[in-house]
Structure 1
């Protein structure tokens, strides 16, 4: 009886103590834009308790006893701030804080346990130190990612990452403001990802991760993913003019529509446009034209709800010289920048509408709803084999499609504390549907005459998915993230060449678990283990004839890595990784296409180093190794064509040095096999670029130089069997697109 009374008394006293607990809540704004800052690390100094701000820049601590506290706020690119507050019994203090922007100081960067799973130290540093100046730089912001352009600037770039020749996007998931870039069952290839509808000057940041370790990310997330975020507001209106070699011109403008009055009401809106023209460096003028337009509105419908509306449109048209065989250059038939079929080229357009609504409820749930729509058109003329199949008319092909893409992303998340343990729980739903009209592959001549339709049909592909994700921060040192994802696909193909066959369908589903562990020894050292299952879907035109087999071949990966700061101005991220895939996409040279193949495995090491040499000068280095091999093939016959085995990028960046800023950068792609037995080799290259800016409050002058040392290099290379008009038999050898020679551009930007 006495024990029962004693237990009751303890419970009563505990409840009384909890009844007098208080809290701290707050909102953090960017001083320049007066808009909320998400991802700010907020810590109660000395208590081992911390969190990060949500989409509305808000944070909350509850269950605090009456006492004085120090609230510490830190965010990359902003001056850290410490606020002293005192909480009384039953009191919740509300703080409204403004962070001012400041130059990057690596000694102030901490390895945070609060953002262990989502921390993007490298990308946050790079985007602050190396602003994007052209469309190619958009993708190069991901460490270790290489691109190659082989269609005069209009076609999506070929992508290389982690021992993958990803072609145009088969194994990396790309999004812009959460809207998908990859196109499923595309006329040119599965996962085709064209980012040229993004105006480079409007990129605010990029979040990326290598490997299939995030429950929120679905299709194509095998080598990794990247989400590019466009600016919510413009600091200033601007107009920019560029002129360069090879008859190159570019004009960009951004207009802030609401200005200071809008920011005072937590609103912003802007319009931006871009026009580009270039004949490029090829012997046959590319006549490349691109037109972009974008508008964005951001505002608060209430104190706890914001709305972001984005609309954009894009159009591009070009000629291109295509890939040329080594023997044609060696014999003098064409020059290094020449062409075998100068009638190649294309035209594409994309119009997007994107709406995002974020609400934080009184009970601290963050609810996100996003709907998006794209209307997309594509037409491309290519000739990979010249006269191998048709000695009279040539082998030129047309790939064409009209697409409507629409979808939804929704999630609910909440942050809770139990003692010092922080729980971040998230559940989400996603839906995407692609409807293509008259997707076509045809044999053509001179880009004007259709000789034969080889594929012609309509595609209806749906992907519905759900996921749950739990992040548990047990202490300042140890965090765990676990998630699981379910994807369901329905693929439907209407073959217009054989209408009597009727509609054909295929269905499949896949479950993808994730488990990630993080141990933060101190603010200078963190160890992590990422594990997860991902996948890439196969083309509807491939899976439907196979009655749905191999629609969603899985991939299993793991990373063991460290983030550490051995010295205040040195930041290092290193990881050893492994990836096994049930089905590989392999380039088939004799057809100029990518087709599904067998199993494969890859493993390697990634190293990223960022070092601040002086107050104004920064150095960066990325080294990436990979050993990609096909499983089941004989030794010596198991190479994966064009898969990179060693890459490196790096450079020096000058920032905040009075009126001057700039960068000197290099990139190196090592020699790699071009076919399965390594008898044909794709050559390595080393290229350097230079950027110099002179800035005043109202204007900026810039000089950009690609290939500063005027290196002769091959940007894309393929082992292809082709036949020239004068030849009696086809030849299998390297076909390439030449990389840019020394290419200088001048720019002038005016701000108001």
Structure 2
């Protein structure tokens, strides 16, 4: 019986050897035909076997075809024309892809090398269908992300996502070209993320992710993150003029400074700028006189054959007036003349931010890519607000000045390598970095009519975050396993310089130093059944840091509260023109940061953490290409947010969204006519913990119509097409007017923009 077994093994060995020798190994590179830039995550498919791989950061791929016969491969990348190529022998091929309009029928669901695959499909589709016009539009590109502006475009937007009222960025990490936008220990709110230094026409791509599942993202990434990338190469220079209601005007321009020969060498240099002015709306006694000026410059050049250097700079200058939030009773009682009035006419703001970024990308060989980035920001804010009338100070009123001057330094380095073992690929990423924020001064003053009365809080604050992570993507056949581990260390310092009784009562005798560290593991699994259906499971731990002033005041309590999340979802193409992404999700937070509960931005503000919270819900996104020229999108987002430590009925999370929806219908004809109509819907939500106050929902519709030719574009956009009455920002305040015997606890609001048409003209050259 032994001989037949040996014979069987020999035959099997010969068959395996024959099969291996019959394999054809195809190596290649995929690049942009015009810019010669490598395209990462382009999909290369063997049409005979159906085997597919994706390109790495260098645009390179290795495809093992099961046959020595000539094979046909398809190379696809969202936003580019598919390429079909016949390979007759083992060779290294160069595939050049040309940009085109995005067609849903060209998109197939494939086993990816990243857990962000589905969101990258959505982001490419959405940016192509309706390009962003403002910083608010950029944020609204993320399905389920709602924004609210309550200082005329001068302050950072208020953010809401996945059952979070994330204030100005407490639970949403925002990045531009790898540089963090969120500012810790900000004078106005923890994690404050002012995106207005980014000129929207310069955004070439963006990626986003919801939840706590991404090893290369740390602080504030609990609800999720969004990261914008400016264009490396400007398609064409332009000058744009816009004007509309409320004395609104905008002038923007971007100019290529190098010719086509430089582009062929991989070089690019362009500059851009914008100037914006508006009175901001029908405010009766406080015209906003909002002004903003931006400048941006970016330079890219190869350094030899293996390195690419990128240098960019940007700056923002902005100044405005604001009516501010007013209580609901203010109009009813006649204390304010209309919902467009103000009880304090000296609420103003001024801010600047100047950034510099230097990147070096190096190909070290052996499938190893090394990316290094250093960044610097200088930031200033001077903000006068009055939310509560005469509640804290009956005689002089509750006008306060929040101010800071900040220098931000940072650096991060990543090594990425792709290796193969048989049919299994291993993409490994190592990363280390730091950021240091130096705030001097950081404070709060009591003012009246813009004049100084007394200092309430003033100090010097330092915060440093050191981090490192490792992230492994293992792909075998239809499976993708992503395993990551991240470590963050924080060092805090706050030196009180105020002699006020409030500040000395909080910080007197306390150690100004504190530190803490946290480990964040991540596991993501994805299985692709076929080119039409993919199932994924994501799970991980994240965190959000607390304000340095609260950290010192509480002597290290709840410095880095943890967040634990899980997503179970799928990507599905039931037809060639329909793409669906759906996820069930769950998130637990060890300590919630709600508006006004954890930050010292008011006199005697509460110092206790808000306690544990839980959220669960479902997200749905659908994109349907009705016709080649007609594109539809729908997002439905449900969340159930609750506090764990409070009694039932008193455990609502104030301002947390529960149901939101956005949708659009966009068209693009070959004759140059394009545009679309879109809506955003926010359901009613709790205004306070027992839901005795309601934050009213809204349904707002916008319209855009353009006529685009090679050398020019004429366009009309209308915000709030049907002129509905709605409130953009709503918050609970306990306020008291002069003459009132007692304070009143109720919702305050700033009205949303009414019917707002704008015209634009763009010249391309």
Interval containing the TM-score (normalised by the shorter chain): over 0.9
Give deviations 1:537-580, integer Å, cap 9, x for gaps: 00111112322221100000001111101111111111111000
CA contact (8 A) 1:384 1:591 kept: no
Corresponding residue for residue 508 of structure 1: 516
**CA 1:153/1:22 → structure 2, altered by over 3 Å: closer, same or farther?**
same
Number of the residue aligned with 1:630: 643
| Separation (CA, whole Å) in 2 of partners of 1:617 and 1:104 | 12
Cα distance in 2 between the residues matched to 1:51 and 1:212: 27
Structure 2: gaps (5+ residues)? none
Q: Any idea what the Cα deviations from partners look like across 1:659-708, whole Å, max 9, x if unmatched?
A: 10001000000000000000000111000000110111110001010000
Distance in 1 separating the partners of 2:49 and 2:374:
41
Alignment partner of 1:109 is 2:92: no
Q: Is this contact kept in 2: 1:18–1:63, CA < 8 A?
A: no
Structure 1 position 366 matched with structure 2 position 398: no
Q: Deviations over 1:301-332 (max 9, x none)?
A: 12232121111111101010100111111223
1:315 & 1:669 partners in 2: Cα distance? 32
Tell me if structure 2 keeps the 8 A contact 1:312–1:352. Answer: yes
Which digits, 9 at most, give the CA deviation of each residue in 1:617-657, with x for residues without a partner?
11111011111000111111000000011100001001244
The 8 Å contact of residues 465 and 488 in structure 1, kept in 2 or not, is answered as yes
Q: Give the deviation of 1:480 after TM superposition.
A: 1.0
Deviation at 1:103, TM superposition (A): 2.0
* TM-score between both structures, scaled by the size of structure 2: 0.93
Q: Evaluate the alpha carbon distance shift between residue 5 and residue 547 of structure 1 in structure 2; reply closer, same or farther with a 3 A threshold.
A: farther
Contact persistence 1:56–1:304 (CA under 8 A): no
Where do residues 430-509 of structure 1 align in structure 2 (5 Å cutoff)? Answer: 430-447=433-450, 449-475=451-477, 477-497=478-498, 504-509=512-517
Within-5 A mapping of 1:4-43: 23-43=25-45
Shift of 1:450: 1.6
2:412 to 406, 409, 419: 409
C-alpha separation in 1, matches of 2:550 and 2:84: 58
What SS class does the counterpart of residue 709 from structure 1 fall into? coil
Q: 1:405 to 1:4 in 2, by over 3 A?
A: farther
1:340 maps onto 2:343 in alignment: yes
Q: State the alpha-carbon separation in 1 of the partners of residues 171 and 482 from structure 2.
A: 23
- Any stretches of 5+ residues in structure 1 without a counterpart? none
Tell me which residue corresponds to 2:683.
670
- Residues 77-226 of structure 1: pairs in structure 2 closer than 5 A: 77-88=79-90, 93-115=91-113, 117-119=115-117, 120-226=120-226
- Structure 1 segment 499-578 matched on structure 2, within 5 A: 504-578=512-586
1:586 aligns with 2:587: no
Q: Distance in 2 between matches of 1:312 and 1:468?
A: 31
Whole-Å separation in 1 of the counterparts to 2:424 and 2:19? 20
- Residue number in structure 1 paired with 2:329: 327
Q: How much does 1:63 deviate?
A: 9.6
**Aligned equivalents of 2:215 and 2:77: distance in 1?**
25
User: After alignment, is 78-87 or 730-739 more displaced?
Assistant: 78-87
Report if aligned partners of 2:622, 2:635 keep a CA contact under 8 Å in 1. yes
Give how far 1:65 is off.
7.5
The CA deviation string for residues 698-722 of structure 1, in whole angstroms up to 9 with x for no partner, is 1000101000000110001011110
Are 2:24 and 2:68, in contact at CA under 8 Å, matched by a contact in 1? Answer: yes
Q: Is the 8 A contact 1:374 1:405 kept in 2?
A: yes
SS of the residue corresponding to residue 512 of structure 2 reads: strand
Runs of at least 4 residues off by over 6 Å? 2-22, 62-65, 592-595
After superposition, give the CA deviation of every residue in 1:426-482 in whole Å (9 maximum; x if it has no partner). 1111211111111011111111x222212111111111111111111121x221111
- Of 697, 702, 727, the residue aligned with 1:689 is 702
The change in CA–CA distance for 1:720 and 1:52 in structure 2 (over 3 A counts) is same
Aligned equivalent of 1:702, options 715, 720, 723 = 715
1:266-285 aligned at under 5 Å gives the runs 266-281=266-281, 282-283=283-284, 284-285=286-287
Query: What is the DSSP-based 3-state SS (H/G/I as helix, E as strand, rest coil) of the residue aligned with 2:88?
Result: strand
Per the alignment, residue 76 of structure 1 pairs with 78
1:231-270 maps to which residues of 2 (within 5 A)? 231-270=231-270
Displacement of 1:739 in angstroms is: 0.2
Farther-moved stretch of structure 1 (21-30 vs 385-394): 21-30
Contact 2:510 2:552 in 1 (8 A): no
What secondary structure, in the 3-state scheme, does the structure 2 residue paired with 1:214 have?
A: coil
Q: Is 1:55–1:358's contact at 8 Å kept on the other side of the alignment? A: no
| TM-superposition CA deviations, 1:19-38 (whole Å, max 9, x none) | 99874333322234343322
Q: What is the CA–CA distance in structure 2 between the aligned matches of 1:351 and 1:50, rounded to whole Å?
A: 44
SS at match of 2:236: coil
Q: Tell me the SS of whatever aligns to 1:205.
A: strand
Secondary structure of 1:123 counterpart: helix
Provide the rounded CA distance (Å) in 1 between the counterparts of 2:335 and 2:702.
31
Deviations 1:356-402 (A, max 9, x none): 11122221111111111111111111111111111121101111111
Give the whole-Å Cα distance in 1 for the aligned partners of 2:596 and 2:635: 30
Aligned residue for 2:127, secondary structure, equals helix
What whole-Å deviation, never above 9, does each CA across 1:562-604 have from its counterpart, x for those lacking one? 1101111111111111000000011238959796310000001
Question: C-alpha separation between the residues in 1 aligned to 2:100 and 2:370?
Answer: 31
- C-alpha distance in 1, partners of 2:362/2:88? 29
The Cα shift of 1:5 comes to 14
Superposition TM-score, scaled by structure 1 size: 0.95
CA distance in 2, matches of 1:263, 1:129: 27
Report how many aligned residue pairs link the two structures: 746
Counterpart for residue 722 of structure 1: 735
Note if contact 2:113-2:480 (Cα within 8 Å) is conserved in structure 1. Answer: no
Superposed CA RMSD in Å reads 2.5
Partners of 1:141 and 1:206 within 8 A in 2: no
Is it true that 1:660 corresponds to 2:661 in the alignment? no
2:56–2:418 contact (8 Å) kept in structure 1: no
Is the contact made by 1:482 and 1:515 (CA closer than 8 Å) also made in structure 2? yes
Alignment partner of 1:304 out of 295, 303, 306: 306
